[in-house]
């Protein structure tokens, strides 16, 4: 093959290989960030341009480095991933934020989407699926893992809008849903970015409105109504 042919072959190479996706990793666990960096750079052909351990640092680095994709954890010390995502999208609506988290409850999923995240995958996701999600978000696509997609489909499914426990507020129903899924007050507080005292106060109101004596009775009623799935 002559030099001209070699030049032509190079010009038609995979654009993702020629222009690696620039990624900012945001997670408060350095070991996880190290593993993600190795996966993205050694397997995914991406370029990790920076790492942040909390939401405030994430916002500063993203606005400075201008990555194609921000891989964002939700629960971190200080500013949460939800709030960091909201701030970033307010400043740069075209920025691709891919949430990577352990949380798959409805409250976390829809809070992230409302904040402007373009993708939402769980930390149990396989490496190939994660790399594909990063590339999809970089292309401007929306991407969600199977578990999250099922929740979105269920939320958008046609049919009569029957809301269980209409006497509860939206926040109280969110907390009851998480309680029915087996989460403790501390876990509920982290998922909804509330204090444990606020969660306890909401639960007291829930128990009174449902006329139940304790958590166990509330969980039974909630699960019979389809919450906590």
Which residue shows structure tokens 């304790």? 214
Distances in whole angstroms, Cα of residue 146 to Cα of each of 103, 104, 132, 187: 14, 11, 14, 23
pLDDT at 27 over 60: yes
pLDDT at 150 over 80: no
Report the candidate in 46, 62, 121, 49 with the shortest Cα–Cα distance to residue 94.
Answer: 62
Is the pTM higher than 0.75? The answer reads: no
Residue 228 confidence class, pLDDT cut points 50, 70, 90: confident
Residue 10 confidence class, pLDDT cut points 50, 70, 90: very low
- Stated as kind and residue range, the H or E segment containing 50 is strand 47-52
Which residues, 6 or more positions from 182, have their beta carbon under 8 angstroms from its beta carbon?
228
The per-residue pLDDT for 12 is: 40
Exposed e or buried b per residue across 113-125, where buried means at least 16 C-beta atoms within 10 angstroms of its C-beta: bebbbbbbbbeeb
Radius of gyration of the chain (CA): 21
Please give the share of the chain, as a percent, with pLDDT higher than 70: 88
Report the candidate in 80, 54, 77 with the shortest Cα–Cα distance to residue 192.
Answer: 80
Which residues, 6 or more positions from 129, have their beta carbon under 8 angstroms from its beta carbon?
121, 145
The predicted model gives 93-108 an average pLDDT of 88
Q: What tens digit of pLDDT does each residue of 120-143 get?
A: 999 988 999 999 999 999 999 999
- How many residues in the chain? 229
């Amino acid at each position: 093959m002559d030099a001209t042919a070699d030049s032509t072959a190079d010009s038609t190479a995979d654009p993702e290989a020629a222009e690696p996706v620039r990624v900012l990793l945001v997670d408060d666990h350095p070991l996880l960030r190290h593993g993600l960096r190795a996966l993205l750079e050694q397997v995914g052909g991406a370029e990790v341009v920076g790492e942040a351990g909390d939401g405030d640092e994430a916002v500063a680095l993203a606005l400075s480095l201008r990555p194609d994709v921000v891989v964002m954890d939700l629960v971190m010390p200080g500013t949460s991933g939800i709030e960091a995502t909201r701030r970033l999208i307010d400043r740069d609506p075209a920025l691709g934020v891919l949430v990577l988290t352990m949380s798959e409850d409805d409250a976390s999923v829809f809070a992230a989407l409302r904040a402007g995240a373009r993708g939402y995958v769980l930390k149990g996701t396989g490496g190939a699926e994660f790399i594909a999600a990063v590339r999809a978000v970089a292309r401007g696509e929306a991407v969600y893992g199977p578990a999250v997609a099922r929740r979105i489909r269920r939320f958008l499914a046609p049919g009569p809008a029957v809301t269980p426990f209409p006497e509860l507020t939206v926040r109280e129903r969110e907390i009851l849903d998480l309680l029915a899924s087996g989460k403790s007050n501390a876990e509920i507080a982290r998922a909804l970015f509330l204090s444990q005292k606020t969660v306890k106060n909401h639960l007291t109101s829930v128990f009174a409105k449902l006329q139940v004596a304790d958590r166990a009775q509330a969980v039974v009623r909630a699960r019979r109504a389809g919450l906590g799935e």
